[in-house]
Amino acid sequence: MDQSLFVVLVLVSVVLIAVGALLLRRRSGTTDAPAPSTEVPFGLASRLGRSREAWSGAIASLFGSGEPDDDAWTALEDALVTADVGPAIAASIVGRVRASSPTSSSEARDSLADELVSLFEGVDRRLVLDGRPSVIVAVGVNGTGKTTTVAKLAHLLSEDGHTVTLGAADTFRAAAVSQLETWGDRIGVPVVSGAEGADPASVAFNAYRAGVEAGASCVIIDTAGRLHSRSNLMDELGKVVRVLANEAGSIDEILLVLDGTVGQNGIAQARAFTQAVPVSGVIITKLDGTSRGGIAIAVEQELGIPVKLIGVGEGIGDVVPFEPEEFVNALLAP
């Protein structure tokens, strides 16, 4: 056989074998295409697990043994009170759900969801960022996670295209300044601080001026945590706000950071802060670690202050805008 013909036959055979193998693999479904992702998204329902379990359990038990009786409806009301919705609000909600005459747990859940979402309607939750730069002041008692929340808010705004300058006006805790500077390095945001024990208002003023000089679009001031019952400290907070307002012309947001795990105690805190400074919105932290998710309802219903952001984890991206429908659906997810 001619040598060139032999080479051609060998090449043809190799090609036929390769094509046959490919067809066989396609028939058996074993191609080289990447397998579809099986990763389950970590949604809000997962993060609100403790509150969700309490609420969904109460709803499921309504029809556990047929038509719900008075005891079953009382149990649902108790679940809402335990979640810190507040007794009067809980009674009103359950009364309206009961009046809708649900015939199944799913209908009761839908009716409850409608009632809860309606409580949050008609409120503008957008952060006001009108200033050039806009000014946000974070206030709250000790232990709410305020400094960390300020850093996470800076990250959120940076991701949204804003340039941010942070002011470390908690001059009584060296650890707070160090913590904020560490966060600032991590997210690439400058932090303006002062000497330990310096006047917080002067640090806030310097932070604002630094933001102006840097061309920042937003300046966020972290203030010292303070007991709402200490009038001298609340007066000091008022001074910080006045100095900033005089320099900037106005303050865009004064955000009260509330610890979601303290429940109704947070209402008393909020009242005291609203008397000291014009609080414009609330950030509720630590909602991933509590069964008291109803505090968001109580804050708005009792104080008329919008919840604008919530903290649902320890990660840098775990301060998120508060979306009532998403929040309610997460709480009531079966």
Tens digit of pLDDT for each residue in 28-76? 333 333 333 223 234 787 777 777 777 777 777 777 767 788 888 898 8
Percent of the chain predicted with pLDDT > 90:
48
Tens digit of pLDDT for each residue in 74-113? 988 988 888 888 899 999 999 999 999 998 888 888 999 9
Indicate the fold that domain 134-331 takes in CATH.
Rossmann fold (3.40.50)
Closest C-alpha among 293, 268, 270 to residue 282: 270
Instruction: Assess whether the region 44-119 and the region 134-331 belong to the same CATH fold.
Output: no
Average confidence score pLDDT of the chain: 83
pLDDT at 65: 63
How far are the Cα atoms of 28, 129, 298, 306 from residue 88, in angstroms, in the given order?
63, 35, 10, 19
Mean pLDDT of 193-217: 94
Measured CA to CA, the distance from residue 133 to residue 210 in angstroms comes to: 10
Classify domain 44-119 by CATH number. 1.20.120
Kindly list the domain boundaries of the chain, sorted by start residue: 44-119, 134-331
Tens digit of pLDDT for each residue in 128-157? 999 999 999 999 988 889 999 999 999 999
Would you say residue 2 has pLDDT above 60?
no
Measured CA to CA, the distance from residue 74 to residue 71 in angstroms comes to: 5
| pTM (2 d.p.) | 0.83
SS3 204: helix
Tens digit of pLDDT for each residue in 213-238? 999 999 999 998 877 566 777 888 99
Q: Are 237 and 139 in contact (CB under 8 A)?
A: yes
Give the strands of the sheet with 191-192, arranged side by side. 191-192, 164-169, 218-223, 134-139, 253-259, 281-285, 307-311, 319-321
